[in-house]
Structure 1
Amino acid sequence: MKVLRFHDLKEEDYLRLDFVGTFDPQVALESELKPFFQVLEECADGWMPDVVEGKRRRKYSHTAIWTALEEERGDRSMSIGLYRTKWPALDMTLRLYFPPLPSELDVTIEVKPLSVFTEAERCHRFVEMVRDWASRYPVSYASAHSVADDQLAGAPNFGRDMQTAIRDGFDKVYEVFWLNVFGPKLVEAVGRERVLSTPAWRVEELPNGAVLVVTWPTAAGFASDEARLAQARAHAHLRPDLDFDTVLRTLRERSATLAPVEPRFHPDVASLLSRVVDSVAIHERQRKIAELNVWQPPEPEEWLPANAALPSDVADPERARAHYRYLAEHLVALLHTKVPSVFKATPESLTDVDYQFWHEEFPRVFEREKLDALAVPAMGAYLGEVLVRHLGGQWIPRQKLEEVQVCVGERVWLPFVRAWRAMRTCQSLLDFSLTQLYRVAERHRS
């Protein structure tokens, strides 16, 4: 049964719920959890899981849930995953902890894309689900919000070191998100009257003393100026030590950071830069697009006019060309698992190679001697082979690799020099990409 692998899909903003409640370990597990799944089934509008995963995957049903939980039960904990086989994507995890650990029901829900929660009615059902869970399984704090904005806010540590954050948890109102459940202890610390008078779209006291606060009707609308005003009012109200104007300015800056930026990348490297952007954290992506829109790679200098080409100085040119093919195979051997296209030796595979070296930070991670002795020759030979195969290039062998040329039209190119320059730093992999050199050679082949 194939599910949508949430984190393998296109990176875009999504809604995340973090919920850590308590349950009664003395009650039979099926009885204790049945209300949880009944509420999920009633309220998961358009994103209901259809797969349960324990030791193996099964079609969603209560029987499948109990079986999966039993499969995953350990001495102190158990966890199962719930997913979808069709859009929108869902990554949901239910974890249970048992004595001698504190009895906890830990739920994480991620639904992609965030735009699923544009409709007010769907958001209302989501809020009702969290409300019912928080009423049945008391929480100290729970929240649901855009992941991108959540990251900009510094959650979950909010500037604290990890040890302090784990120890203290959400011990004061560090941030107000789209949906919040403040547990009784936090409510008393802030002041129950103050919490219940929070200026927000919905404020409700729950039977166990927790308070539900929802700042805006829709989760997807969190970045609008009206929603930011509501968020700032709620936060400044719950934290009177904060300045409202400062809070609002910070929220507006976050909205500006997340505002969509149209990519206008240099055409020779647009395919590569698109890959780079896709690998950047969601909350930094628009800023990265704006940065790369104004960045221009240097014009390739690794060429000579054809009439200035260095003549071959090897005794057996064919043997030298076979050696270049052999070196190119080294690159295939190095990258084929993560870059299957490397077998094809196409212009597109050059981009995949550029990206993989950049993504894995080869110049930073690996020893310089090994890079120059192994990776650079393989990279240069591979580039040369693509010039030969796709642009009708001709190898001009030389004893020194840095002098080896590939003649394409009225220019001869120096693929090993290009590879050497590219592999200096992570940034130079973009500045001196194989992709760009190929595109420029393509334009000058006739």
Structure 2
Amino acid sequence: MKLLTVHDLNKADSLSFTFEGSFDATQGVERALTPLVDALEKHAEGWMPTVVKSGRKRKYSREAVWRALEERRDEYGSIIGLYRPENPAVSLVFNFILTQDESSFHSRLDLQPLHFFSGVDACRTLVAVARAWAARYSVPYASAHSIADEQLAGSPCFGRKERDARRDGFDKIYELFWLNVFGPKLVESVGRERMLSTPAHLVEELPNGSVLLVLWPTAAEFASEEARVAQARAHVHLRPDLDFDTVLRKLRERSAALVPVEPRFHPDVAPFLSRLPDEFAISERQRKIAELNAFRPPVPEEWLPVAHPSDVEKPKRVLESYGDLSEGLVAALHTKVPSIMDETAESLTDLDFYFWRDNFPERYKRELIDSHTAPALGAYLGDVLVRRLGGTWVLRAKMEESQVRVGKRVWLPFLRARRYMQSCRSLLDYSLTQFFHEVERYRP
């Protein structure tokens, strides 16, 4: 049973609902938190969690929630997760801070895919949960919105230093999202009359003085032109100091940044480049794909039309030393790059990705890279050319001059490896993946 992870959430856009509430736990935690699960069981139609997880996984039930809460409880509080592995996938994490006075909780609901909320009825279910929680628990501010667009908006700091954002929270209307819950303090700072007259799909005053505001009928259409206009109008209504045209322009720019870009990577490096976009924040993904589409690696120059003859007296010993270097690289990386043991084109692509994701040339000392990693990688690369493309070593006393003959050309794997390890940019310009495919074209 696979549960939704942080990595999964970065693969595609999701709806994220964050809520911080306070409650009185003196009459018992179970009693105080029952409204949370009441609202879920009553309203979360189609996306109700089915798994409760603390130290172990259990099928969802109220009893399972209370047992998980106690299992993870310590002097500071408790943290539990409710999940749904089926489509739509759900991750709902509760972090409870339990004190003798006023207790509190922070919850984050992530639901994927976002297009589950393309229908009005599905959106009503989340609005109903938000309404029930906000009416029962004191909350300064809560919101539900696209994760990708939240990132583009700068949430949760909104241009502030992190320490200031933690201290002040959402103390003024920095941004409006698809669903918003404004606590009484924030409502009064804006003006209750102004807040209740906001042009939006739903504006509802709750019994405890909070205001629930939903900008548009459906969450999944947040980036449409109509939804963005509505968002800008509501924002400048609540913040008269803002200019409508400026706000709308920025919202349109965010929408444009999220328009899907079809990957069209250079074929020689596509196996490598296709892995990179998922490593960037979901909000940056399309821009990065466009940049990688435009990337054209330099044509490999690490080859000679005619081989320099071998000048070593004991070729067997030299080959053994290369084998030792290659085996050392395999021993060092086989747990992080399991395919390295196979010595295939795919192994080279896996190494490209590993070195790039690890920021290897910038992270480790240059002396170590130049004296050990690059030579070991050159030996390994040469062995792959020999094993997979029928190459033959032409050994030279100076290691960087050693060649592998494939077809009518001789190739310089140690030189390629040295250039490759110069910087993180070099990992792209001199990728092992591209080098292999270039050599492959000259295989007889």
Which of residues 316, 319, 335 is equivalent to 1:318?
316
Distance 1:101 1:379 in 2: 61
8 Å CA contact 2:23–2:104 kept in 1: the answer is yes
Name the counterpart of 1:43: 43
Count of matched residue pairs: 443
**Higher mean Cα deviation, 89-98 or 227-236?**
89-98
Structure 1 residue 423 corresponds to structure 2 residue 392: no
Equivalent position amino acid for 1:7 in 2 = V
SS in 1 for 2:330: helix
8 Å CA contact 2:24–2:102 kept in 1: the answer is no
Name the counterpart of 1:217: 217
Name the counterpart of 1:438: 436
Name the counterpart of 1:192: 192
Name the counterpart of 1:379: 377
Name the counterpart of 1:226: 226
Distance 2:135 2:99 in 1: 22
Distance 2:23 2:100 in 1: 14
Name the counterpart of 2:31: 31
Q: Deviation of residue 14 (structure 1)?
A: 0.9
Q: Deviation of residue 101 (structure 1)?
A: 7.2
Equivalent position amino acid for 1:376 in 2 = A
Structure 1 residue 360 corresponds to structure 2 residue 366: no
Name the counterpart of 2:162: 162
Q: CA RMSD in A?
A: 1.4
Q: Deviation of residue 100 (structure 1)?
A: 5.6
Equivalent position amino acid for 2:317 in 1 = R
Name the counterpart of 2:250: 250
1:8-19 equivalences in 2 (<5 Å) = 8-9=7-8, 11-19=11-19
Name the counterpart of 1:392: 390
Residues 371 and 101 of structure 1, relative CA distance in 2, 3 Å threshold: farther
Q: Deviation of residue 316 (structure 1)?
A: 2.4
Which of residues 408, 411, 422 is equivalent to 1:410?
408
Deviations 1:142-176 (A, max 9, x none): 00111111011011011111111111110100000
Name the counterpart of 2:2: 3
TM-score, with normalisation over the residues of structure 2?
Answer: 0.97
Equivalent position amino acid for 1:207 in 2 = P
Unaligned residue ranges in structure 1 (runs of 5+): none
TM-score, with normalisation over the residues of structure 1?
Answer: 0.97
Distance 1:172 1:350 in 2: 51
Residues 401 and 116 of structure 1, relative CA distance in 2, 3 Å threshold: farther
Name the counterpart of 1:344: 342
Equivalent position amino acid for 1:294 in 2 = A
Distance 1:385 1:273 in 2: 24
Equivalent position amino acid for 2:137 in 1 = Y
Distance 2:171 2:49 in 1: 32
Equivalent position amino acid for 2:257 in 1 = T
Equivalent position amino acid for 1:320 in 2 = V
Unaligned residue ranges in structure 2 (runs of 5+): none
Q: Deviation of residue 419 (structure 1)?
A: 0.7
SS in 2 for 1:395: strand
Q: Deviation of residue 5 (structure 1)?
A: 4.1
SS in 2 for 1:407: strand
Distance 1:369 1:139 in 2: 55
Distance 1:273 1:422 in 2: 15
8 Å CA contact 1:376–1:420 kept in 2: the answer is yes
Residues 120 and 329 of structure 1, relative CA distance in 2, 3 Å threshold: farther
8 Å CA contact 2:23–2:102 kept in 1: the answer is no
Residues 319 and 102 of structure 1, relative CA distance in 2, 3 Å threshold: farther
SS in 2 for 1:151: helix
8 Å CA contact 2:337–2:350 kept in 1: the answer is yes
